[in-house]
Each structure stands twice: as structure tokens, then as C-alpha cells.
């Protein structure tokens, strides 16, 4: 029961984050479709590190579905789901080497790059055209920047949680 | 301890930069003296515009769930207005070089510029 509640809270938190980042006009800076900060990934990383893989999957999938029901659309659901799926797989793999080979920064950067690649693959399949792959380099480089940013936020968050040792269920 | 970077972080960074660089190289095209803008909607060509020939302002409308208007002027092309939710296509602005493109993902519309290099500048008879 406690797990259900915690997961629900995390889903709503992820939803709020993906709603808030829509108001940050990154697209005016770099007008590329699919560009975003990826703040909701902080929640996914939290679930991966403090809860378990099934929770992380549930939170991510439900966040994508709810976000596209509220402010996206059918096509945005397919893009965000495929991006989130690729990102989760890569982050689960990279997490195996956590503290030995990778820090949160590497995991977050890898997740961001996987998210962008997944989105582009889905978009090119939907539009049946590979031209959209020309956007991938810009997305990968901006993903490095946003990946480092979200990793810094997540690190500080994790430090607070470790100090208080509050997450137990 | 969490803030300390590991060697794997640099590997991830380098791999991503390398993939990005390879993709840039794969899609790079030289500027050419003949340019055609191809407008695709859901992978069907709705219009081809010879950018080097059109000198007057020219508007193209597209329809569907999120309709919009494309403007051609002075050898450049852009999304003038669109009814899609994100407006990424309009924010892209003018494009005029081969290999460049502007995309409206919600509408499924792609404008891409293709160049043909003709080696001779002028033919004198």
C-alpha cells in the first residue's frame, strides 16, 4: 500500500515537471522538434535508485500516457513512450556500473541520448522518412547539456535523501 | 562520493559526441547553385519549389489535423504560420541551404532542401 502511494506521488511529480518544462521556451533558443529539459527524468532516476525497476517502468509509462492525454496528443504519446523506453533500458544497463564505472552524470547523459534517439526513430517510422535523422546530432549535443543539468539536480536531491534517510517502504 | 565523475562518464560523453559528429558528416551537403525545396506531408510530396527560380513571394497551404502556411521568398523558405501546438516549425525560421530542413511533427510536414550542383555557371553559345 505504501508503495502504491509513493509511486502515485512520483507519477504526479513527474507530470508536474513535464508540464512546467513546457513553459521554458528552449525552442526559441534551438528550434528543433523534441527538444526539452527532461526534468521528469529526475523522477525516473530516483525510482531506479531508491525503488526498483518495475516501479521505474510504471512511473515512466504512466507519466507519458497521462502527459499526452492532458497536453499532448496521440503522436506525442508515441514519441515520448519510445524515447522513454530507450532511455530506461540504457539507464538500467548503465546503472549496473554505478559508482564503479559511471556516476549519475554518465547515466543521465546516456539516458538523454537514448531518449532523443528513440524519439527520432519513432518520428522517422511515423513519417516514413529518414530525413528527420538530420536533427539527431543537435538533439544529442543538447541532450549532453540537459543530461548533465538533470544529473546535478538529481545528485543534490539524492544527497538530501541520503542524509535524512527517509525513503523506506 | 556521488559527485565524483567516473571514467565511464567520459566514455559516454565521447561516444555521444562521436555519433553526433558522424551523423553531421553523413548529412552534410555543400552549398549548390540550384536548390529545390521539397514539401512532404506524411511522406507524400505535396509540392516541389525551385528556390533559385522563384523571385516573388509565394504561399503554399497544407491541410489536415494541424493546417498551416509555408512561405517562399528570395530563395528561402519557411513555415509562415501553423496551427500545431508546439510551433517548433514556425520558430525554425527561414532555411535556404541544401540539407537544411524544417519540420512540423504534429502535422507530419517536412520541408527539405535538396541541391543539384551544376559545374558550369553560365553556358555561352
Q: Do B43 and A128 touch (CB under 8 A)?
A: yes
Beta strands B101-104 and B34-41: pairing type?
A: unpaired
- Whole-angstrom Cα distance, residue B22 to residue B28? 10
B84 contacts on A by Cβ (under 8 Å): none
pLDDT bracket for residue A110 (50, 70, 90): very high
Of B16, B21, B105, the CB nearest to A113: B16
Alpha carbon of B35: minimum distance to chain A alpha carbons (Å):
17
Q: Which whole number is the average pLDDT over B29-36?
A: 80
Half-sphere exposure of B82 (CA within 13 A, CB side): 27
A31 contacts on B by Cβ (under 8 Å): 88, 91-93
A29, A34, A68, A102: best mutation site toward chain B, by most B Cβ within 10 Å? Answer: A102
Enter the ipTM: 0.86
Domain residues of chain A, as ranges? 2-164
**Cα angle: B28, vertex B34, B38; to 5 degrees:** 70
Whether A85 shows a pLDDT value over 50: the answer reads yes
Of A100, A128, A140, the CB nearest to B16: A140
Beta strands B44-50 and B76-82: pairing type?
A: unpaired
**What does the pLDDT read at residue A135?**
87
pLDDT in tens, A10-52: 999 999 998 898 888 777 788 787 788 989 999 999 999 989 9
Report whether B117 contacts B43 (CB < 8 A). Answer: no
Considering only residues A89 and B107, tell me which one the structure prediction assigns the higher pLDDT.
A89
pLDDT bracket for residue B21 (50, 70, 90): very high
**What does the pLDDT read at residue A48?**
93
Class of domain A2-164: mainly alpha
> Which domains are seen in chain B, by residue range?
34-116 (2.60.320.10)
Closest CA to B58 of B40, B39, B83: B39
pLDDT in tens, B69-86: 999 988 899 999 999 887
Whether A93 shows a pLDDT value over 50: the answer reads yes
- Whole-angstrom Cα distance, residue B51 to residue B35? 6
**What does the pLDDT read at residue B125?**
58
Alpha carbon of B31: minimum distance to chain A alpha carbons (Å):
16
Q: Do A134 and B19 touch (CB under 8 A)?
A: no
Whether A169 shows a pLDDT value over 60: the answer reads no
Report whether B111 contacts B62 (CB < 8 A). Answer: no
- Whole-angstrom Cα distance, residue A50 to residue B47? 53
Find the radius of gyration of the CA atoms of chain A. 16
Direct distance between the N- and C-terminal alpha carbons of chain A, in angstroms, rounded to an integer: 9
Whether B23 shows a pLDDT value over 60: the answer reads yes
Cα-based distances in Å from A51 to A66, A159, B22, B65: 21, 16, 37, 41
Please report the beta strands in chain B, taking only residues with DSSP state E, as ranges in sequence order: 34-41, 44-50, 58-62, 68-73, 76-82, 101-104, 109-116
Amino acid at each position: 500500500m505504501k508503495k502504491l502511494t509513493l509511486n502515485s506521488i512520483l507519477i504526479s511529480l513527474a507530470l508536474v515537471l513535464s508540464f512546467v518544462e513546457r513553459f521554458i521556451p528552449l525552442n526559441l533558443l534551438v528550434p528543433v522538434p523534441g527538444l526539452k529539459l527532461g526534468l521528469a527524468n529526475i523522477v525516473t532516476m530516483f525510482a531506479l535508485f531508491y525503488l526498483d525497476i518495475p516501479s521505474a517502468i510504471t512511473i515512466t509509462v504512466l507519466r507519458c500516457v497521462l502527459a499526452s492525454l492532458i497536453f499532448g496528443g496521440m503522436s506525442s504519446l508515441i514519441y515520448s513512450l519510445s524515447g522513454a523506453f530507450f532511455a530506461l533500458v540504457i539507464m538500467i544497463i548503465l546503472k549496473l556500473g554505478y559508482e564503479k564505472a559511471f556516476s549519475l552524470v554518465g547515466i543521465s547523459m546516456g539516458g538523454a541520448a537514448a531518449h532523443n534517439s528513440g524519439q527520432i526513430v519513432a518520428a522517422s517510422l511515423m513519417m516514413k522518412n529518414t530525413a528527420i535523422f538530420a536533427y539527431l546530432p543537435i538533439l544529442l549535443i543538447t541532450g549532453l547539456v540537459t543530461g548533465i543539468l538533470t544529473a546535478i539536480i538529481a545528485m543534490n536531491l539524492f544527497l538530501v535523501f541520503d542524509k535524512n534517510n527517509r525513503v523506506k517502504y | 562520493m556521488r559527485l565524483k565523475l567516473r571514467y565511464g562518464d567520459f566514455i559516454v560523453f565521447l561516444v555521444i559526441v562521436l555519433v553526433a559528429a558522424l551523423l553531421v558528416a553523413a548529412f552534410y551537403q555543400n552549398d549548390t547553385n540550384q536548390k529545390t525545396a521539397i514539401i512532404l506531408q506524411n511522406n507524400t510530396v505535396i509540392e516541389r519549389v525551385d528556390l533559385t527560380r522563384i523571385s516573388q513571394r509565394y504561399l503554399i497551404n497544407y491541410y489536415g489535423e494541424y493546417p498551416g502556411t509555408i512561405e517562399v521568398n528570395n530563395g528561402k523558405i519557411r513555415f509562415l504560420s501553423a496551427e500545431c501546438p508546439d510551433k517548433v516549425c514556425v520558430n525554425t525560421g527561414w532555411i535556404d541551404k541544401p540539407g537544411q530542413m524544417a519540420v512540423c511533427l504534429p502535422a507530419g510536414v517536412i520541408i527539405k532542401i535538396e541541391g543539384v550542383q551544376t559545374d558550369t555557371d553560365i553556358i555561352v553559345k
